[in-house]
Structure 1
């Protein structure tokens, strides 16, 4: 959304962003190692073998113990070491449904339901009928089972469209968990508070892992060997992340100082934190760096349209992007020329490091950024003409203007051969699951803009367009947009369950992007990319808080 000529100076002053909270901290920071990396890797490999033997024994394990084991590994952030074993275990859990038919343990039934749906197995919500009375309401005696309530609350957020019983489950469990808060023992108290803020299926797994490593030790049935493995894994993964952050911080400082776009957000640490949501494990280093770099460049693009460029300058930038050639730099105002040169050169550098079999994907990423520019121009036109679009027009353009579709293609390009060509083609055609993820990003961003305040010259948000079109107040409009966001999550759940196995890895990336929106915006009460302080504590928790080996 570009500014009109007569208000650009005022807009630039109003829209000055806070400086980076991190400066060069990660460029110079060295994490103190409690043990050598070599020792930790050898010990982790040894413990991985022990857990694999547990899965062998799990073939004779009860279904309840099997789902508890899988849940523990996932919440501790070490499930990526046991993908095959977990898949085989959950296939058995799904196939041996009769073992659960007689279970009256709400925690186990709900845990099984959530895990199976999260892994793409269909499970009917009828499994919860046994916990309802003759009127269809959930039994009041369940209020005495906080663990069961919490499991049901999290499971119900795997709902697909029109599952009314799970709507009832969320309302029922949330009411009783809110009442129980403050009366529960640790770590249940912390786990309830965390899930009421962001339900487990929508929370960044990295955040859950750091919390749960601390909490798991307090559980009576905890396994000391699994806990040691989780601590080792986090320390090793953190070591890789800090090296990546150092490299990115040095790259960014050179770039940001050279382009001199001082009106933009200086947020490379937050961009990197966003990237770790998508890619799990040490082996995804290149993918994380590609995503963080291109996201950082996109933020500069976005802020130029939003807070600095006049409508005419926006058109100049768009024309240069459509040409995608250094010779087009002469079309641009002086202040954008170095950015354009750096944008093109960084795309070339990234293309050079791609595996030969996936280099073709860069052309799709470039084309999507060119389309992104067209959506920004449409928003700029609305602003320039002082036009309030209809709610549908705002959604149609605003959802695409989030950049989610472009970001998704960047993710799959960086993933290389981990994502096959069939999945990339599926993603390029923007399936409904991708559109639903973009809707979540649009709606939660617009709710945050309405709650936290936005520059008076920004294009109208979904909340404002809804208020104008339907004659509502802000609270009612936000409630309507929040419900649309909830339905988008349910479409994502449905589409993932129905997904072909060859595409599932790409679809998981979309789910992770949705989780990053929830973490950065927290129902629209925060904006972690604009206000770095909103995610500062999470960054400290994940990258810097000591975890003893």
Structure 2
């Protein structure tokens, strides 16, 4: 105890867990799907299918989404002879919104899509919301905050049901089906969240690792962002558990361990010692045990599934990130502000997204074989783009909070140092880099890969989580900003 109490530590004043009693919200009956609901869901599904097949219109033609990816003629038709976007389009709020959403798929060198994005976002921001239906105004405001392209799928689905319900020409059968489908999936999500919470309580993390952020519900929301599909139930649970472990690891380096302790801790991770080393506090030993036990069990599962060698890459991704954390700890001890180039090189690994992506691959079954993990470890462009998005979005949103405590210089300070600019100019420069990283992400999703597309979608989905969690503030550190999403997805069902 004396080791932990007498040593000076860079502790952080993290917000408390705001979901202490989240499971008391759910009775046993609520955690089980009733036969009546299942039967109604099945009946409505048949009716919706028949309606869809009988439609004279091709629904795909209404979406125009694939066209936005593949053919710039979709955007050319919005332009006049002078090459500028037609101003009369402003009167069509829905059309402008569609143009705005489609232009989120911009890539490097596609000036026309950049122009479409600038045109549509400018006019949506200037729009008089009194002149359009309220539900459309709400939809536009939400799109400006988080376009669908950068949103978490389940959150976007919940919102769209509300939008659609307000439409005059809504299909009553389709609406009821969507509500029941959402509520049924919500029951599954509640069950999964209960499972993660039980693990957390059994591990006694709250009392054993007091310095970390306690974020069970938020970690589970993150995992839903990675894969919303019902069949990935176990994957969501394991990814949420992994995120809790990653949080403890991050906070151990960032807000607890001394330099000497972290060197011992890092060496143990690099050697993958079966038991934690001596000369570190009991809390750090506890983190080490949980981490190693979790990864060893995953490795055993890989072997049983015929995916031998994948566990090696999971551990490699974790070691890589720990090395990145260690570099930041050294800079802090030396009171060194890195150049932005130095920071950027280390930030790719300290983002923590390499082990998180690897973890989402782990839950994808046979499609994530050894070849897929080897591809991921080769630093493909889409992974690098995701790591930039994660690191720099986080750095901008958490800048003010980190300045108030003992913390290594972040991207903004390093940018200011290297280029001799103000904070505002540094943020602007980093935002340009973020925009380019999103363009790289889009481009990589459009071209052929040796890696199966379902795995690429995990990387993309994780970037969408970052945009929701970090674009305006560090919502993971300050969970009150995620409260509305957790309530709408896990606590409140949709009235039918």
Which aligned pairs between 1:292-441 and structure 2 lie closer than 5 A? 292-330=240-278, 332-354=280-302, 356-358=305-307, 360-441=309-390
Q: Alignment partner of 1:9: what SS?
A: coil
Residue matched to 2:454: 505
Residue matched to 1:276: 224
Tell me the CA shift for residue 33 of structure 1: 4.7
Residue matched to 1:43: 40
Alignment length (residue pairs) = 490
Q: Measure the CA separation in 1 of the matches of 2:287 and 2:452.
A: 36
Could you tell which deviates more after superposition, 493-502 or 137-146? 493-502
Residue matched to 2:465: 516
Q: Measure the CA separation in 2 of the matches of 1:395 and 1:46.
A: 54
Could you tell which deviates more after superposition, 386-395 or 125-134? 125-134
Structure 1 residues 138 and 545 mapped into 2: Cα distance closer, same or farther (>3 Å)?
same
Tell me the CA shift for residue 330 of structure 1: 2.6
Residue matched to 1:25: 22
Tell me the CA shift for residue 154 of structure 1: 0.8
Which aligned pairs between 1:112-511 and structure 2 lie closer than 5 A? 112=64, 114-116=65-67, 122-183=69-130, 184-257=132-205, 260-330=208-278, 332-354=280-302, 356-358=305-307, 360-500=309-449, 503-511=452-460
Deviations 1:143-162 (A, max 9, x none): 10100000001111101112
Provide TM-score, normalisation by structure 1.
Answer: 0.84
Structure 1 residues 33 and 11 mapped into 2: Cα distance closer, same or farther (>3 Å)?
closer
- Unpaired runs of at least 5, structure 1: 69-110
Structure 1 residues 317 and 181 mapped into 2: Cα distance closer, same or farther (>3 Å)?
farther
Tell me the CA shift for residue 27 of structure 1: 6.1
Q: Measure the CA separation in 2 of the matches of 1:425 and 1:27.
A: 43
Q: Retained in 1: the 8 A contact 2:398–2:473? A: no
Q: Alignment partner of 1:547: what SS?
A: coil
Residue matched to 2:8: 9
C-alpha RMSD over aligned residues: 2.4
Q: Retained in 2: the 8 A contact 1:402–1:442? A: yes
Q: Measure the CA separation in 1 of the matches of 2:339 and 2:70.
A: 39
Provide TM-score, normalisation by structure 2.
Answer: 0.92
Residue matched to 1:532: 479
Residue matched to 1:66: 60
Deviations 1:88-124 (A, max 9, x none): xxxxxxxxxxxxxxxxxxxxxxx40x3455xxxx522
Q: Alignment partner of 2:105: what SS?
A: coil
Tell me the CA shift for residue 166 of structure 1: 1.6
Deviations 1:18-43 (A, max 9, x none): 22001132266327659952222233
Could you tell which deviates more after superposition, 150-159 or 122-131? 122-131
Deviations 1:236-271 (A, max 9, x none): 111111111112112112324477221110111110
Q: Alignment partner of 2:77: what SS?
A: helix
Q: Measure the CA separation in 1 of the matches of 2:408 and 2:32.
A: 53
Q: Alignment partner of 2:107: what SS?
A: coil
Q: Measure the CA separation in 2 of the matches of 1:44 and 1:155.
A: 32
Deviations 1:339-370 (A, max 9, x none): 22222222233444555123532221112111
- Unpaired runs of at least 5, structure 2: none
Tell me the CA shift for residue 429 of structure 1: 2.0
